[in-house]
Amino acid sequence: MLALAHHYDEPVTSGGVTYLARVYGAREADGQIGGWIVFFPRGGGRVIATARETTQSDLADLGYWASGLTHVYLEGALDRALDLQPDAVIGRELDRLEALETSAALDANALETAAAAARAESDVVRAARERTEDRFLATVAGEAEAEAAAHEAAAKGARQTAKAASGALRARRKGPSAKKK
């Protein structure tokens, strides 16, 4: 059960809205009194409360604590209380998500640029590889043609040698010793 511990006569203003501040306390499970500052907008509207600001041993101590708060402290407490409101929390979350989205978009653009550069480099390397393969195949073909020509020349020479040897062999067989028989 909430109990009023202190109220302030001097209003607190934020965002063009003027509030009257009060401190309320409630007994907690451990027997202590938790204290909250509650802001009531003049002229009606949504009541705004802080998270627990203090814990005191009893309501009188809470009232004493509250009596020592300065106007500057109350302004800060109002700002903290407004920051706890769902619209403020959602606004901060939206800002955070927008920053993440912007960062992700920048990362995506950087990655797309890097991918385009890598594709271009890949195309250059592929073209260089194909030129190297063409030169290699031309070299292999040229060497094979030269080797084939050398083999053909050697074969022609070997055929000529074989023909000459066959001719000499035939001439020998027909020669003087073949007639003596």
Contact 81, 37 (CB under 8 A): yes
Range 147-154 average pLDDT: 82
Range with lowest mean pLDDT among 31-35, 161-165, 175-179: 175-179
Report whether 41 contacts 17 (CB < 8 A): yes
pLDDT classification of 179: cutoffs 50, 70, 90: low
Contact indicator for 29, 95 with CB cutoff of 8 Å: no
Q: At 79, which helix (H) or strand (E)? A: helix 71-83
Taking alpha carbons only, the member of 17, 16, 27, 19 closest to residue 5 is 27
Contact status, residue 110 vs residue 73, Cβ threshold 8 Å: no
Amino acid of residue 24? Y
Chain centroid to Cα 87, Å, comes to 29
Cβ-contact 58, 50 below 8 angstroms: no
Which has the closest alpha carbon to 36: 68, 98, 78? 78
Cβ contact 21:39 at 8 Å: yes
Write the pLDDT tens digit of every residue in 86-133: 665 555 565 666 777 788 888 888 888 888 888 988 988 888 888 888
Looking at the whole model, is its pTM more than 0.85? Answer: no
Confidence class of residue 150 from pLDDT cuts 50, 70 and 90? confident
Q: What is the predicted pLDDT for the residue at 153? A: 81
What is the three-state SS of 97-109? HHHHHHHHHHHHH
Residues 47-81 pLDDT 10s: 999 999 999 999 999 999 999 999 999 999 999 99
Residue 86, C-beta contacts closer than 8 angstroms, at least 6 positions apart: none
